[in-house]
Amino acid sequence: MSWTDFLPGGLRRRVETGVGARAVLSNITWLSFDRVVRMGVGLVVGVWVARFLGPGDYGLLSFSLAFASLLGPIAFLGLDSIVVRELVRSPDRREELVGTAFGLKAAGGVVAIVLSVVLAALLRPGDNLTLVLVAIAATIFLVQSFDAIDFWFQSRVESRYTVYAKNAAFIIASVFRVILIAVGATVVAFGWAGLLEAMIASLGLLLVYWKRGGQFAAWRLDFTTARTLLTASWPLLLAGLSVAIYMRIDQVMLGYMMDDVAVGTYSAASKVVEVWYFIPGSIAASVFPALVKARETGEGVYKKRLQLFYDSISSIGLIISALVSLGSGFLITLLYGDQYQGAIPILTIYAWASVPVFLGVATGQYLVLENKIDVLLYRTLLGGATNVALNIVLIPPLGGVGAAVATLVSQCVVTFSLLFFHGGGGQARAILDSLNPVRLVRNTVRVLKA
């Protein structure tokens, strides 16, 4: 008996006969399992940490992580989708592509560490505690250079091996965090817990890569390949910086314009929403190789798969946003207690950012497929600029609520700005179609009854 036997007839036939559908769904299942484990365990442990540290120290830790994440794209270099695409096209170049990606990410990680420490010292002069936490958080990016191995597994739709490594690291680090709470550790120790998780995950990736026949010693850094990858990825690097700005600048600006308590309260609300952000990423990572092949097969198949991608993403986002927004008071009180009551109005607004975030991930995959990296760059720059401008205006009078409004608006600007770019009108219409609840219900019923 197969797991597909439990699906409705129409859906089961599509899964069993679709080209690569079983592999894609299996990959989504593994990625989702990874994130569900992280969502469940991470939420419990994260809430426990927030309660233990209180809004002040929790805000300081969140500020440091957010500050370092602003420069994280320099370490990632926008290589992810580009390297996966090249590995799908030329799997025989594995050692060259993975080795080159590792070398580039390692160099970017070193640059990210230096810049993070220097900028943190300028922003908060004399605050040695913040400086230490930022340095620890930035070092994680250097350790994550081994995520280049994950590119290979993504290209083969075999993300379960990455799940093995990263889940093991996550569980160990979570146990370590619980121990830190039990012994009454300082906030710096919780910063080290994040670095420990990254180190164990990298060791795990090396192990599963070796088990699957890969050899770290066979990797080679090819400068011609590096130049080709960077030429293709630099717009994605800039886009990543813009994404980091409109995703994390709110916490940094709250910490600069207000205090760590405001950051802690805001971070508590955002964590409840962002815990669901694994969904579009899991689907996108699994569907991307199939979309690459569909584009080469024919326009009709390609458009249908893109529309199905958008439909799935938007329907999930709408459901999550509505449930979290309506239950914001209950969720904050249950999870964080009375000391975080200020997070309730923030969560009510912030929850709706899930919809444009989910669709933004989906349309980002389309832009990479179509090699419209310039559009990806322009729209994220626009979103980052919008978020910064709105935060400057809204944070002083409204605090965390103003930052939540700024985030929601800027995410919408990013996703729906496709309307204003050449050739983006069709995709914008597809996005709007995916938000039509009547159409979604009708299509779902048709699939289940077919």
Please give the full DSSP string across 267-280, using - where no structure is assigned: HHHHHHHHTTTHHH
Q: What is the pLDDT of residues 1-57, one digit of tens each?
A: 443 443 444 444 544 444 455 555 555 555 556 666 677 777 788 899 999 999 999
Tell me which residue of 280, 253, 244, 246 sits closest to 76, measured CA to CA.
Answer: 244
The span from the first CA to the last CA of the chain, in angstroms, equals: 22
Is the model's pLDDT at 299 over the cut of 90?
no
The span from the CA of 172 to the CA of 386, in Å, is: 39
What are the sequence ranges of the domains in the chain?
Answer: 3-449
The whole-number average pLDDT for the span 319-328 is 92
pLDDT band at 209 (very low <50, low <70, confident <90, very high): confident
Residue 28 has what pLDDT? 54
Share of the chain above pLDDT 70, in %: 87
0.85 surpassed by pTM: no
Residue 29 has what pLDDT? 58
Is the model's pLDDT at 254 over the cut of 60?
yes
Write the DSSP string, 159-182.
Answer: THHHHHHHHHHHHHHHHHHHHHHH
The beta-strand segments (E) located in 82-188 are none
The whole-number average pLDDT for the span 280-302 is 75
Residue 17 has what pLDDT? 47
pLDDT band at 446 (very low <50, low <70, confident <90, very high): low
Q: What is the pLDDT of residues 413-427, one digit of tens each?
A: 888 887 777 666 677
Which has the higher per-residue pLDDT, 155 or 14? 155
Is 219 strand, coil or helix? coil
pLDDT band at 393 (very low <50, low <70, confident <90, very high): very high
Tell me which residue of 154, 186, 149, 198 sits closest to 30, measured CA to CA.
Answer: 154
Handedness of CA 244, 159, 156, 366 (dihedral sign): negative
Q: Are 354 and 321 in contact (CB under 8 A)?
A: yes
Q: Are 268 and 337 in contact (CB under 8 A)?
A: no
